[in-house]
Amino acid sequence: MPINIWMVEDNSRYRKSLVAVINNTPGMYCDQAFSACEEAFDAMEVEAHPDVILLDIGLPGMSGIKGIQKFKSYAPDVHIVILTIYEDNDTVFDALCEGASGYLLKDSTQDKIVDSIREVLAGGAPLNMRIAQKVLQLFSKIKIKRDTNYGLTEREKEILQYIVAGLTKQQIADKIFLSFHTVNTHIKNIYKKLQVTTKAAVVSKAFNENLFKAGN
Protein backbone atom coordinates (compact mmCIF):
# COMPACT_ATOMS: atom_id res chain seq x y z
CA MET A 1 0.00 0.00 0.00
CA PRO A 2 1.22 3.51 -0.72
CA ILE A 3 2.86 5.59 1.99
CA ASN A 4 0.55 8.18 3.51
CA ILE A 5 2.41 11.40 4.13
CA TRP A 6 1.36 14.61 5.83
CA MET A 7 3.20 17.84 5.74
CA VAL A 8 3.26 20.83 8.09
CA GLU A 9 4.99 23.79 6.52
CA ASP A 10 3.97 27.43 6.56
CA ASN A 11 5.74 28.44 3.39
CA SER A 12 3.03 27.71 0.86
CA ARG A 13 5.30 27.69 -2.18
CA TYR A 14 7.70 25.20 -0.65
CA ARG A 15 4.81 23.13 0.65
CA LYS A 16 2.94 22.96 -2.65
CA SER A 17 6.09 22.18 -4.53
CA LEU A 18 7.02 19.29 -2.30
CA VAL A 19 3.48 17.94 -2.16
CA ALA A 20 3.49 17.84 -5.93
CA VAL A 21 6.77 15.96 -5.97
CA ILE A 22 5.48 13.41 -3.47
CA ASN A 23 2.27 12.89 -5.38
CA ASN A 24 4.24 12.34 -8.55
CA THR A 25 6.30 9.66 -6.84
CA PRO A 26 4.97 6.13 -7.14
CA GLY A 27 4.26 4.43 -3.83
CA MET A 28 3.53 7.54 -1.80
CA TYR A 29 1.00 10.30 -1.61
CA CYS A 30 0.38 13.45 0.37
CA ASP A 31 -3.23 14.50 0.56
CA GLN A 32 -2.95 16.48 3.77
CA ALA A 33 -0.74 19.50 4.04
CA PHE A 34 -1.01 22.20 6.68
CA SER A 35 0.56 25.50 7.49
CA ALA A 36 0.37 25.06 11.27
CA CYS A 37 0.46 22.23 13.81
CA GLU A 38 -2.94 23.15 15.18
CA GLU A 39 -4.63 22.47 11.84
CA ALA A 40 -2.91 19.11 11.63
CA PHE A 41 -4.08 18.16 15.13
CA ASP A 42 -7.67 18.79 14.11
CA ALA A 43 -7.18 16.53 11.14
CA MET A 44 -5.63 13.83 13.33
CA GLU A 45 -8.96 13.64 15.14
CA VAL A 46 -10.96 12.75 12.07
CA GLU A 47 -8.65 11.51 9.33
CA ALA A 48 -6.71 8.28 9.02
CA HIS A 49 -3.29 8.75 10.58
CA PRO A 50 -0.31 9.19 8.27
CA ASP A 51 2.77 6.98 8.14
CA VAL A 52 5.15 9.91 8.00
CA ILE A 53 4.86 13.58 8.89
CA LEU A 54 7.26 16.07 7.35
CA LEU A 55 7.42 18.76 9.96
CA ASP A 56 8.85 22.24 9.85
CA ILE A 57 10.11 23.84 13.04
CA GLY A 58 9.71 27.55 12.52
CA LEU A 59 5.93 27.63 12.42
CA PRO A 60 3.33 30.17 13.47
CA GLY A 61 1.64 29.05 16.67
CA MET A 62 3.01 25.86 18.15
CA SER A 63 6.58 25.15 17.11
CA GLY A 64 7.44 21.92 15.40
CA ILE A 65 9.52 20.87 18.39
CA LYS A 66 6.55 20.91 20.72
CA GLY A 67 4.37 19.47 18.02
CA ILE A 68 6.37 16.25 17.85
CA GLN A 69 5.09 14.91 21.13
CA LYS A 70 1.58 16.03 20.38
CA PHE A 71 1.57 14.17 17.09
CA LYS A 72 2.96 11.12 18.82
CA SER A 73 0.17 11.25 21.36
CA TYR A 74 -2.32 10.93 18.51
CA ALA A 75 -0.35 8.30 16.62
CA PRO A 76 2.48 6.72 18.62
CA ASP A 77 3.92 4.91 15.62
CA VAL A 78 4.01 7.83 13.24
CA HIS A 79 7.46 8.72 11.94
CA ILE A 80 8.21 12.39 12.20
CA VAL A 81 10.88 13.77 9.93
CA ILE A 82 11.98 17.30 10.64
CA LEU A 83 12.42 19.44 7.54
CA THR A 84 13.70 22.85 8.46
CA ILE A 85 16.31 25.51 7.97
CA TYR A 86 17.47 25.37 11.59
CA GLU A 87 20.68 23.56 12.26
CA ASP A 88 21.83 25.01 15.56
CA ASN A 89 22.80 22.55 18.25
CA ASP A 90 19.93 23.27 20.61
CA THR A 91 17.20 22.90 18.02
CA VAL A 92 18.65 19.67 16.67
CA PHE A 93 19.16 18.28 20.14
CA ASP A 94 15.67 19.18 21.29
CA ALA A 95 14.02 17.73 18.21
CA LEU A 96 15.85 14.43 18.53
CA CYS A 97 15.07 14.25 22.23
CA GLU A 98 11.41 14.74 21.48
CA GLY A 99 11.51 11.68 19.28
CA ALA A 100 11.99 12.83 15.70
CA SER A 101 12.85 9.92 13.41
CA GLY A 102 14.90 12.02 11.05
CA TYR A 103 16.24 15.51 10.50
CA LEU A 104 16.61 17.07 7.08
CA LEU A 105 17.50 20.57 6.02
CA LYS A 106 15.53 22.47 3.43
CA ASP A 107 18.49 22.68 1.14
CA SER A 108 18.08 18.94 0.60
CA THR A 109 17.17 17.91 -2.91
CA GLN A 110 13.67 16.67 -3.50
CA ASP A 111 15.11 13.29 -4.39
CA LYS A 112 16.87 13.14 -1.04
CA ILE A 113 13.66 13.96 0.77
CA VAL A 114 11.73 11.28 -1.07
CA ASP A 115 14.50 8.77 -0.36
CA SER A 116 14.44 9.72 3.31
CA ILE A 117 10.75 8.96 3.55
CA ARG A 118 11.43 5.45 2.33
CA GLU A 119 14.44 5.15 4.61
CA VAL A 120 12.56 6.07 7.76
CA LEU A 121 9.91 3.46 7.02
CA ALA A 122 12.65 0.88 6.47
CA GLY A 123 13.78 1.46 10.05
CA GLY A 124 16.44 4.04 9.31
CA ALA A 125 17.06 7.52 10.57
CA PRO A 126 17.65 9.94 7.73
CA LEU A 127 19.93 12.72 8.87
CA ASN A 128 21.35 15.56 6.91
CA MET A 129 25.10 15.26 6.56
CA ARG A 130 25.84 18.21 8.78
CA ILE A 131 23.26 17.09 11.33
CA ALA A 132 24.80 13.63 11.54
CA GLN A 133 28.14 15.26 12.17
CA LYS A 134 26.70 17.36 14.99
CA VAL A 135 25.21 14.28 16.57
CA LEU A 136 28.53 12.47 16.52
CA GLN A 137 30.29 15.45 18.02
CA LEU A 138 27.97 15.25 20.99
CA PHE A 139 29.27 11.77 21.68
CA SER A 140 32.92 12.62 21.52
CA LYS A 141 32.35 15.31 24.12
CA ILE A 142 31.32 12.65 26.58
CA LYS A 143 34.62 10.87 26.09
CA ILE A 144 36.91 13.75 26.91
CA LYS A 145 35.64 13.81 30.42
CA ARG A 146 35.94 10.09 30.97
CA ASP A 147 39.70 10.22 30.67
CA THR A 148 40.48 12.28 33.72
CA ASN A 149 40.95 9.82 36.55
CA TYR A 150 42.34 12.16 39.14
CA GLY A 151 44.51 9.23 40.20
CA LEU A 152 41.84 7.62 42.31
CA THR A 153 42.82 4.24 43.70
CA GLU A 154 40.58 1.21 43.36
CA ARG A 155 39.39 1.55 46.93
CA GLU A 156 38.64 5.19 46.42
CA LYS A 157 36.70 4.50 43.24
CA GLU A 158 34.72 1.89 45.11
CA ILE A 159 33.85 4.29 47.88
CA LEU A 160 33.04 6.93 45.30
CA GLN A 161 30.32 4.66 43.96
CA TYR A 162 28.72 4.44 47.35
CA ILE A 163 28.90 8.17 47.87
CA VAL A 164 27.11 8.65 44.56
CA ALA A 165 24.57 6.08 45.68
CA GLY A 166 23.84 8.30 48.65
CA LEU A 167 25.18 6.18 51.52
CA THR A 168 26.49 7.75 54.72
CA LYS A 169 30.04 7.11 55.84
CA GLN A 170 28.83 4.63 58.42
CA GLN A 171 26.71 2.79 55.84
CA ILE A 172 29.67 2.56 53.49
CA ALA A 173 31.83 1.23 56.30
CA ASP A 174 29.27 -1.47 57.06
CA LYS A 175 28.91 -2.33 53.39
CA ILE A 176 32.56 -3.06 52.74
CA PHE A 177 33.48 -4.18 56.27
CA LEU A 178 35.73 -1.32 57.23
CA SER A 179 35.79 0.95 60.22
CA PHE A 180 34.08 4.30 60.02
CA HIS A 181 37.46 5.94 60.41
CA THR A 182 38.97 4.21 57.40
CA VAL A 183 36.09 5.26 55.20
CA ASN A 184 36.46 8.73 56.58
CA THR A 185 40.11 8.77 55.62
CA HIS A 186 39.42 7.48 52.11
CA ILE A 187 36.81 10.13 51.59
CA LYS A 188 39.19 12.80 52.78
CA ASN A 189 41.68 11.59 50.19
CA ILE A 190 39.03 11.60 47.49
CA TYR A 191 38.24 15.19 48.37
CA LYS A 192 41.88 16.14 48.03
CA LYS A 193 42.23 14.44 44.65
CA LEU A 194 39.02 15.82 43.22
CA GLN A 195 39.57 19.14 44.95
CA VAL A 196 36.16 19.31 46.53
CA THR A 197 34.93 19.60 50.09
CA THR A 198 31.49 18.02 50.23
CA LYS A 199 29.78 14.84 49.20
CA ALA A 200 27.36 16.72 46.96
CA ALA A 201 30.29 18.19 45.06
CA VAL A 202 31.82 14.75 44.66
CA VAL A 203 28.62 13.43 43.13
CA SER A 204 28.40 16.43 40.86
CA LYS A 205 31.97 16.02 39.68
CA ALA A 206 31.55 12.29 39.26
CA PHE A 207 28.63 12.79 36.90
CA ASN A 208 30.06 15.75 35.05
CA GLU A 209 33.29 13.96 34.34
CA ASN A 210 32.00 10.42 33.97
CA LEU A 211 34.21 9.03 36.71
CA PHE A 212 32.67 5.63 36.17
CA LYS A 213 33.43 2.48 34.27
CA ALA A 214 36.38 0.45 35.48
CA GLY A 215 38.26 0.58 32.19
CA ASN A 216 41.08 3.15 32.36
Partner DNA sequence: CTGAATATACCACGAACGTGCGATTGATTA
Partner DNA sequence: TAATCAATCGCACGTTCGTGGTATATTCAG
Binding site partner of 181, from DNA, a second copy, none, Cβ cut-off 5-8 A by kind: DNA
> Which are the contacts of 162, defined by CB distance < 8 A and separation ≥ 6?
171, 172, 175, 176
C-alpha distances in Å from residue 45, one per residue of 3, 41, 119, 146, 157: 19, 7, 27, 48, 54
- Region 27-86 residues binding a second copy, contact defined as CB under 8 A: none
> Which are the contacts of 42, defined by CB distance < 8 A and separation ≥ 6?
none
Near DNA by CB under 7 A: residue from 151, 213, 215, 216: 151
Q: Is 205 in the site for DNA (CB under 7 A)?
A: no
Near a second copy by CB under 8 A: residue from 26, 76, 123, 151: 123
Nearer to DNA, 135 or 178 (CB): 178
State in angstroms the smallest separation of the CB of 26 from a second copy.
Answer: 22
- What's the rounded Cα separation, in Å, for the pair 65 and 128? 17
Nearer to a second copy, 46 or 142 (CB): 142
Asked whether 146 and 213 are in contact (CB, 8 A), the reply is yes
Q: Is 216 in the site for DNA (CB under 7 A)?
A: no
Which amino acid is present at 134? K
- What's the rounded Cα separation, in Å, for the pair 141 and 163? 25
Residues that bind DNA (CB under 7 A): 151, 153-156, 168-170, 178-182, 184-188, 191, 197-199
Residue numbers at the binding site for a second copy (CB under 8 A): 93-94, 96-102, 119, 122-127, 129-130, 132-133, 135-136, 139-140, 142-143, 146, 163-166, 168, 196-204, 207, 215
